[in-house]
Amino acid sequence: MEQLKSMDQFNELKQEERVVFMFTAGWCPDCRVIEPALPSIEADYPEFTFISVDRDEFIDVCSELDIYGIPSFVAFHEGKEAGRFVSKDRKTKEQIESFLDSVSVD
C-alpha cells in the first residue's frame, strides 16, 4: 500500500475516481492485526487506490476528517467523501470488505 507523503498529494488523490485512505500508526496494535489481510483486500478491490496515512504525521488531515480512532478508512470519489469506516475499534477483514462493498460512487 502506498504511503501518503504530503498534503498536496492528499488533495490530489482525493480528486481521483476511487481512493481509500487508511489511517494508521506504527504504534497501533489493531492496525498491525489487519496488516496481513491488506494485500488480499487490495487485490480483491482493484477499482480502488489504497493509500496509507500515518495519523501522527498527518494529524491535521485526521482532525479535518474527524478521525479520532485508528485503524480507520475514508473513501473519496472525485473529491467527495463516498464512505467512511471510522472508529477506535479493531477491524476484521470481513468488516473492511463490507465497508468497501458499501462505498457509494454515484
- Which residues are tagged catalytic? 28, 31
Name the residue among 36, 46, 101 with its Cα closest to residue 73. Answer: 101
What letter represents residue 23's amino acid?
F
Name the residue among 66, 85, 67 with its Cα closest to residue 75. Answer: 85
First vs last C-alpha separation in the chain: 25
In whole angstroms, give the CA distance from residue 12 to residue 10: 5
Cβ–Cβ under 8 Å, residues 99 and 85: yes
For residue 18, give the C-alpha cell: 476511487
